[in-house]
Amino acid sequence: MDDFNEVKLITGEFKPGEAEEILFSIIEDKIRFNSRQIFSYEERGIDGAERYNKRIEELQQSKDKIAAIINRSKAENKILSIESSIVIKEKPEITDN
């Protein structure tokens, strides 16, 4: 199996409302995932949830930036061209020794 894979996630031109729905859906889902991870860590009394809190902050900043772009596009009656890929890399398995 390859150790590097790229998959196109989003490609096309979208009205601002469509772009908002697509992009916010992805970001909000990632925020929910990280929130569930935080809850899981807290329930088990395990340290390490800080990275999930940090990621939520980063995602919120990305959402704010996207919102500004979309609002500007709405005001200027523009179409948004979006291309997004996911890069997946395989790494050696982590073992506890």
Task: With a cut of 70, list the residues of the chain below it in pLDDT.
Answer: 1-2, 95-97
Judge whether 88 lies within some domain.
Answer: no
Judge whether 96 lies within some domain.
Answer: no
pTM: 0.82
Sequence-separated (6 or more) residues with CB below 8 Å from residue 59: 27, 30, 31, 34
Q: For residue 94, what is the DSSP state?
A: P
pLDDT in tens, 14-40: 999 999 999 999 999 999 999 999 999
Range(s) of the domain holding residue 21: 17-79
User: Total domain count for the chain?
Assistant: 1
Judge whether 67 lies within some domain.
Answer: yes
